[in-house]
Chain A
Amino acid sequence: MNQVSITTAEPSVSDKLPSEQPATSKHASDKHCTGADIVIKCLEAEGVKFVFGYPGGAVLHIYDAIYKQNHFKHILVRHEQAAVHAADAFSRATGEVGVALVTSGPGATNAITGIATAYMDSIPLVVISGQVPVPAIGLDAFQEVDMVGVTRPCVKHNFLVKDVKDIAVTMKKAFHIARTGRPGPVVVDIPKDITAHLAEFNYPKSIEMRSYNPVTKGHSGQIKKAVKLLLEAKRPMVYTGGGVVLGNAAESLIKLVKTLGVPVTNTLMGLGGYPATDRQFVGMLGMHGTYEANMAMQECDVLLAVGARFDDRVIGNPKHFFSKSRTIIHVDIDPSSISKRVKVDIPIVGDVRSVLAEMNDLVAAEAPKQSPALKAWWEQIEAWRSRLCLNYNNSNGLIKPQYVIEKLWEVTKGDAYVTSDVGQHQMWAAQYYKFDKPRRWINSGGLGTMGVGLPYAMGCQFADPTAQVACVTGEGSIQMNIQELSTCKQYHLPIKVILLNNRYLGMVRQWQEFFYENRYSESYMDSLPDFVKLAESYGHVGMQITQPGDVEGALKEAFAMKDRFVFMDFITDQKENVFPMIENGKGLSEMILAEDL
């Protein structure tokens, strides 16, 4: 299938219209299914529970088939971008493949930001897009866009299905590719006429692809070397990323870190991979990481990196990083993530859970004891920790955003799903909400997509209907997908929006203060709506909180409303900035702390 040649003769334009009509499939037996029925049956076979989507011309047959089925629930969003984000969050929260369905042309292009967001964070998605009928492809037909071409740079793989007989095997491949190896989004573009044609439904039980065989198990010799290095290290450090969360490896990681007695840091994407309230956790690292995490990264002699990729927001300037020598062990499922920005000494390509389990077995056999060197290393780390880099001044009578997050953590007992948008509020949420479990911190780390917060919260709430879901956002970001308040109304989603409203695009303003002599070019968010009234107009509860003394009470009141969507507009200190901060191009140990200013 999917050879270069087109397998069916092209019908002339005159016989195109009738063929667009779905055949009457009174008996939806597996022998005579329409393409649309086959799509539904594939989703059913994959155990899909939710499809997030938005109908349109090219997917009408599929929507008709959805109407007639009861295997999954379709969630109608208000913009295709939100459909993909919600499916993405559903996947982040559950580990299952998220599914979105959009129409051709503008429906498809609206989905792009969602797809690119998932791609950058390696989230498994199957996005089904409608396409104009096969004979119309390339003729600039109404609502035509080359979806396979447009999405190529931001998908793990994509398909254009040109024959109804290929739908089932293509869907099978799509789910297989999305969830295996380094996960990622896969687009399946299906022309409208194909969804009307008839074929037998036959879903393959398994799939073999000669061109796609992701590695699973790590190289045992390399793992042995790595463990030896870790046991002999004087200043060991463990640095883990989203791979530990996606690879369901948190338990193995905790075991390893506990047995070795070493410090551990998580990237923004890796938060929750190791319990934040544990003493061995030194906080998030990177541009806005803690002093102790960044110093320990810089000063360690053996670094174990697991499911992380040394990106520019994490280690800053690589030249500065290498001004200190250390031995780096890098475990990742994607060989291309290894030695991409940073040359590593012990590369281990493999599934992080299996590699960590193998390491645990080797370490357990050695029964390590805390060496004097490790004790001295911990004393050094405690000295760095005693700088209390996350302290903030809470005395000017204004609501501090950090304080809101601290209270949110207390009120939700650290157990909520917290989604965020992108900017200062995102960093504060990451710094001050202590995530003890994986898959609870849901944010756009790689692409940094403003507007994900609310649809992410929707995806989490569908994944876990009784859970507490908080969307930490800013007044800039929330307006990028504010239309989803309507979706939340339709499905009675009891999300709590925590808006840290500082009337600025805060992170932009912060950079303008640091690098552009306070020229606040277009970073003021003027003409804001009355968020309370806006929420109320959708039938939600709106609250505005202006006094620090009211923060905790308001949060308690909001989370006590277990069946209501509550929009909390916190009017925060306009001038608060995120610290510590590493300026662009600077090194890990060149942090600016709040106390320095």
Chain B
Amino acid sequence: MRHIVSLLMENEAGALSRVAGLFSARGYNIESLTVAATEDPTLSRMTIVTSGSDEVIEQIIKQLNKLVDVVKVLDLNDGKFIERELMLIKVKATSTHREEMKRMCDIFRGRIIDVADGSFTIELTGSGTKLDAFIESLDKTAILETVRTGASGIGRGDRILKI
């Protein structure tokens, strides 16, 4: 099953590679991994999208907790949470298709953030499945380039990951 694991870690050189190294050394899946400093610059927040049986996920959480740089770990799937991902997608927008592309963008509540002769760059935010759906709905030959951030997640309401 797909899980989103959120963690807080010391914002230190090499901390990211400890997490990445753990996943590769123990053969765990990483679907996506995103990391940036928090409002407290000594802490980084990382979101890892992974998958595995319950036993594997349990081990992943334990192994992450074992890393000396990791302060807190939370399996977002243990409760209610919100998940968002940002995609920047550059699509062909030639004269005949410009209108159509704009309409698709509007339907998915995307924003056109760059306009050039023959192309649009669209910014789209949502769950991974929504971004997948947008890509699916486009003619493959129309897609020039896609950039996805990987999922970020946050607990709903009182579920707060903080030290």
A and B found bound together: yes
Supposing A2-B13, A211-B10 touch, asked if A335 and B65 sit within 8 A by C-beta, the answer is yes
Residues of B71-92 at the interface with A, using a CB-CB cut-off of 8 Å, are 71
The residue of chain B having its C-beta at the shortest distance from the C-beta of A148 within the complex is B14
A3 engages B18 (CB within 8 Å):
no
Cβ of A148: which chain B residues have Cβ within 8 Å of it? Answer: 14
How many inter-chain contacts with C-beta < 8 Å in the A-B complex? 49
B21 engages A210 (CB within 8 Å):
no
Interface presence of A339 (CB below 8 A):
yes
Q: With A and B bound together, what is the CA distance between A212 and B12 in angstroms?
A: 14
A336 engages B68 (CB within 8 Å):
no
Q: With A and B bound together, what is the CA distance between A210 and B21 in angstroms?
A: 22
Cβ of A209: which chain B residues have Cβ within 8 Å of it? Answer: 68
Cβ of B123: which chain A residues have Cβ within 8 Å of it? Answer: none
Cβ of B66: which chain A residues have Cβ within 8 Å of it? Answer: 334-336
A212 engages B68 (CB within 8 Å):
yes
The residue of chain A having its C-beta at the shortest distance from the C-beta of B44 within the complex is A4
A166 CB → nearest B CB, Å: 12
Interface presence of B42 (CB below 8 A):
yes
Interface residues of A (CB under 8 A from B): 2-4, 148-149, 152-153, 156-157, 160, 177, 209-212, 334-336, 339-340, 343
Interface presence of B63 (CB below 8 A):
yes
Q: With A and B bound together, what is the CA distance between A3 and B37 in angstroms?
A: 11
Supposing A211-B70, A335-B65, A339-B55 touch, asked if A4 and B12 sit within 8 A by C-beta, the answer is yes
B75 CB → nearest A CB, Å: 14
A160 engages B18 (CB within 8 Å):
no
B12 engages A2 (CB within 8 Å):
yes
B13, B68, B71, most chain A CB atoms within 10 A:
B68
B13 CB → nearest A CB, Å: 5
Supposing A3-B11, A4-B12, A335-B62 touch, asked if A149 and B70 sit within 8 A by C-beta, the answer is no
A157 engages B68 (CB within 8 Å):
yes
Cβ of A212: which chain B residues have Cβ within 8 Å of it? Answer: 68
B59 engages A340 (CB within 8 Å):
yes
Contact of B63 among A157, A177, A336 (CB under 8 A): A336
Supposing A334-B66, A335-B65, A336-B62 touch, asked if A3 and B42 sit within 8 A by C-beta, the answer is yes
The residue of chain B having its C-beta at the shortest distance from the C-beta of A155 within the complex is B68
B163 engages A210 (CB within 8 Å):
yes
Contact of A152 among B17, B63, B70, B71 (CB under 8 A): B17
A149 engages B55 (CB within 8 Å):
no
Cβ of B163: which chain A residues have Cβ within 8 Å of it? Answer: 210
Contact of B13 among A156, A157, A160, A211 (CB under 8 A): A160
B62 engages A153 (CB within 8 Å):
no
Q: With A and B bound together, what is the CA distance between A152 and B13 in angstroms?
A: 13
Interface presence of B25 (CB below 8 A):
yes
Contact of B21 among A153, A339, A340 (CB under 8 A): A153
Supposing A211-B70, A334-B66 touch, asked if A152 and B9 sit within 8 A by C-beta, the answer is no
A336 engages B11 (CB within 8 Å):
no
What's the dominant secondary structure at chain B's contact region?
mixed
B81 CB → nearest A CB, Å: 23
A156 engages B42 (CB within 8 Å):
no
1/0 contact string of B48-68 vs chain A (CB within 8 Å): 000000010011001101101
Q: With A and B bound together, what is the CA distance between A177 and B163 in angstroms?
A: 21
Supposing A2-B13, A153-B25, A160-B13 touch, asked if A343 and B59 sit within 8 A by C-beta, the answer is no
Q: Report 17 cross-chain contacts, Cβ distance below 8 Å, ordered by A residue.
A: A2-B13, A3-B11, A3-B13, A3-B42, A4-B11, A149-B14, A152-B17, A160-B14, A210-B71, A211-B9, A211-B68, A336-B63, A336-B65, A336-B66, A339-B58, A340-B59, A343-B55
Cβ of A157: which chain B residues have Cβ within 8 Å of it? Answer: 68-69
B25 engages A3 (CB within 8 Å):
no
Q: With A and B bound together, what is the CA distance between A4 and B44 in angstroms?
A: 11
Cβ of B63: which chain A residues have Cβ within 8 Å of it? Answer: 336
Q: With A and B bound together, what is the CA distance between A491 and B111 in angstroms?
A: 76
The residue of chain A having its C-beta at the shortest distance from the C-beta of B22 within the complex is A153
B18 CB → nearest A CB, Å: 6
B92 CB → nearest A CB, Å: 40
B87 CB → nearest A CB, Å: 27
Starting from the known contacts A3-B12, A152-B14, 20 additional A-B residue pairs (CB-CB under 8 Å) come to A2-B13, A3-B11, A3-B41, A3-B42, A148-B14, A149-B14, A152-B17, A153-B21, A153-B25, A156-B68, A157-B69, A160-B13, A177-B68, A209-B68, A210-B71, A211-B68, A211-B71, A335-B62, A335-B66, A336-B63
Q: With A and B bound together, what is the CA distance between A157 and B9 in angstroms?
A: 14
The residue of chain A having its C-beta at the shortest distance from the C-beta of B69 within the complex is A211
- Can you list the 6 inter-chain pairs with the closest CB atoms, starting with the nearest? A336-B62, A157-B68, A211-B71, A335-B62, A2-B12, A212-B68
Q: With A and B bound together, what is the CA distance between A148 and B21 in angstroms?
A: 12
The residue of chain B having its C-beta at the shortest distance from the C-beta of A1 within the complex is B12
A149 engages B68 (CB within 8 Å):
no
B45 CB → nearest A CB, Å: 14
Cβ of A3: which chain B residues have Cβ within 8 Å of it? Answer: 11-13, 41-42
B13 engages A4 (CB within 8 Å):
yes
The residue of chain B having its C-beta at the shortest distance from the C-beta of A213 within the complex is B71
Q: With A and B bound together, what is the CA distance between A209 and B17 in angstroms?
A: 20
B71 CB → nearest A CB, Å: 4
1/0 contact string of B4-31 vs chain A (CB within 8 Å): 0000011111100110010001000000
The residue of chain B having its C-beta at the shortest distance from the C-beta of A157 within the complex is B68
Cβ of A343: which chain B residues have Cβ within 8 Å of it? Answer: 55
Q: With A and B bound together, what is the CA distance between A147 and B59 in angstroms?
A: 27
Q: With A and B bound together, what is the CA distance between A177 and B62 in angstroms?
A: 17
Q: With A and B bound together, what is the CA distance between A3 and B69 in angstroms?
A: 12
Cβ of A153: which chain B residues have Cβ within 8 Å of it? Answer: 21, 25
Cβ of A177: which chain B residues have Cβ within 8 Å of it? Answer: 68
A336 engages B12 (CB within 8 Å):
no
Cβ of B13: which chain A residues have Cβ within 8 Å of it? Answer: 2-4, 160
Supposing A334-B66, A339-B55 touch, asked if A152 and B18 sit within 8 A by C-beta, the answer is yes
Cβ of B12: which chain A residues have Cβ within 8 Å of it? Answer: 2-4
A155 CB → nearest B CB, Å: 10
The residue of chain B having its C-beta at the shortest distance from the C-beta of A343 within the complex is B55
A152 engages B21 (CB within 8 Å):
yes
B60 CB → nearest A CB, Å: 10
Cβ of B25: which chain A residues have Cβ within 8 Å of it? Answer: 153
B85 CB → nearest A CB, Å: 25
Cβ of A149: which chain B residues have Cβ within 8 Å of it? Answer: 14, 17
Q: With A and B bound together, what is the CA distance between A339 and B58 in angstroms?
A: 9
B39 CB → nearest A CB, Å: 16
B23 CB → nearest A CB, Å: 12
B102 CB → nearest A CB, Å: 41
The residue of chain B having its C-beta at the shortest distance from the C-beta of A335 within the complex is B62
A209 CB → nearest B CB, Å: 8
B74 CB → nearest A CB, Å: 15
